[in-house]
Amino acid sequence: MSASAPLVGIDAIRAAAAILDGVAARTPLVGFGRPEDRVLLKAESLQPIGAFKIRGAYNALAGLDPDDRAGGVITYSSGNHAQGVARAALLFGVPAVIVMPSDSPAVKRARVAADGAEIVVVGTASEERRVVAERIAAERGLAIIPPYDDDRVIAGQGTCGLEIAEAVPDLAAVLVPIGGGGLASGVAAAVKALQPRARVVGVEPELAADARESLALGRVVAWPAELVSRTIADGTRTQSLGPRTFAHLSALMDDVVTVTEEEIAAAVRLAAEESRLVVEPSGALTVAAARFHRRALGAADGPIVAVVSGGNVDPDAYLRYLAAPIPA
């Protein structure tokens, strides 16, 4: 679909919510910090696969022609979308092939394998795994489920924003992590449709801030794999937005805030200590923004919801994050 096509609308998101009923959890809003701060964490870490990606993956598989779906699916992902497609394929009873980078967390690879998907390991560049997936899809006749630049995926992820907008009628702002932009696009589409005065603020690591640069320049900018691979937030190591996600974020995103590696690690710890949530670094981006960059959010009085995108973190790394210093 071209970048100039109409954006995903609320009707498509509501349709996705009906499809996801009984598959994706309607995750809770958990308090964070002082009550007067009115910060709530949207705990997508409590999804069946530990991340929001089940929403878009299942909706995309449901949108396939039944014959195409029966032939099997393939995707390329650093981890959480891989788990989403593997689980969705398992639920539909179809085979799945997942192209994953060599630096994806072991816990994510193990869970993909546990759902019966075939794993193909490639290098760290997101472009490389896309090319390999497209080649395998052509060779085997598999349907590609893109990780983010797909309207079915965006609509599925948008159900997270739908739940937020319905649950918080006086919403001031939503903080959402940005990797490839599928979650941010869907959440922004839902929130702006239902609560247009609420601000939608994306959050990226300083070490992988390609979306902020792209939106500032008005065109998609790709960062080299060796740069984005520096961040501990592995879910945001995507090298660039796609045409569709860039179109959505350009139209709907109010701002992008960046956070440091030290702030991300501290946010993992703070989510555990203050909200009793296990959060992976990518999911902790918004927690870091809420705690360390409150003034930059520009939110009016009212609740701020930070989307915690996932909780799939290697245990050894998690122990290190729990001991991370808290920046002043």
Strand partners, 258: 204
Instruction: Say how far apart CA 37 and CA 301 lie, in whole Å.
Output: 10
Cβ contact 40:271 at 8 Å: no
User: Which one of 78, 104, 214, 309 is the catalytic residue?
Assistant: 309
- DSSP-based helix, strand, coil % in the chain, nearest 5: 50, 15, 35
Work out the burial of residue 326: count CB atoms within 10 Å of its CB; fewer than 13 is exposed, 13-18 middle, 19 or more buried.
middle
Q: In sequence order, what are the residues at sequence separation of 6 or more whose Cβ sits closer than 8 angstroms to the Cβ of residue 65?
A: none
Strand partners, 29: 42
> What's 325's DSSP letter?
P
Instruction: Say how far apart CA 143 and CA 65 lie, in whole Å.
Output: 10
Active site residue 309: yes
Work out the burial of residue 92: count CB atoms within 10 Å of its CB; fewer than 13 is exposed, 13-18 middle, 19 or more buried.
middle
Instruction: Classify the C-alpha dihedral 119-207-3-175 as positive or negative.
Output: positive
Tell how many helices (H) and how many strands (E) occur in the chain. 14, 10
Backbone angles phi, psi at 169, to 5 degrees: -65, -25
Active site residue 192: no
User: Which one of 42, 45, 53, 192 is the catalytic residue?
Assistant: 53
Neighbouring CB atoms inside 10 A of 224's CB total: 11
Catalytic residues: 53, 309
